[in-house]
Amino acid sequence: MTGSSTRRPISDVTWTPPPQWVGWVPGAAQADAEALAAQVTDDPAVIPGVAAGLRALDTAWSDPAGAPVIMGAWLPHPAAGVVAGSLVIRLISPDPDGRLSPEALLALAQDPPRRKGLRVLESSAAPGQLAAGPAVLLVTDLTARFSRRIVREYTWFVLPPGTDETLMCQFETDQAWAFEPLGDQTNLVTDSLVVTLEDA
């Protein structure tokens, strides 16, 4: 553990969606899905399918543990009507002992936490350094029990200086062709993160 509970909380997180990405405040896609879809395609026949996918994604993440502050979708092939990758960014408050250190986060790959109904097939982690602060990337392949469908998760834990809060950026895809390309996309997204702390 590291840090002090007296340090400043995070007041704002922003990012710059790369090409083929759209981003929104959680819940906003219900009303803004068509406008978001128009950012990645100008084909009026394609927009309704893309919008439906964005609304479904927005609903799926509407009330998880640790409410999201930013959501995003990667749509390299809008005409297919499939979200190739999703993004959920959350703020994680520290426990009483402080936030996890990079070393503790790296240890998660050695013994990833169990998830109800899911089986971890493979997990690895690597340290990194972003403009927003030190980071750890956790890469996990998961499958639901009694299913052959594999989901690839890229989870960036970002430790901004001056705060005890952790930024968790979770990317996910169930499209096998997108496993490696999404990894490259996560670098573009996390490199653009800007974290603002509350005034002292």
Ordered by where they begin, the domains of the chain are: 16-80 (no CATH), 93-179 (3.10.450)
**pLDDT, tens digit, 9 for 90 and up, residues 131-166:** 999 999 999 999 988 888 999 999 999 999 999 999
> How many Å from the N-terminal Cα to the C-terminal Cα in the chain?
23
* pTM, 2 dp: 0.90
Mean pLDDT over 17-43 rounds to 96
DSSP symbol at 46: T
Return the closest-CA partner of residue 108 out of 152, 138, 70, 146. 138
Return the closest-CA partner of residue 185 out of 73, 106, 42, 102. 73
CA distance 24 to 51: 13
**Which residues neighbour 40 within 8 Å (Cβ) at sequence distance 6 or greater?**
20, 21, 22, 50, 75, 78
Mean pLDDT over 49-62 rounds to 88
CA distance 120 to 35: 37
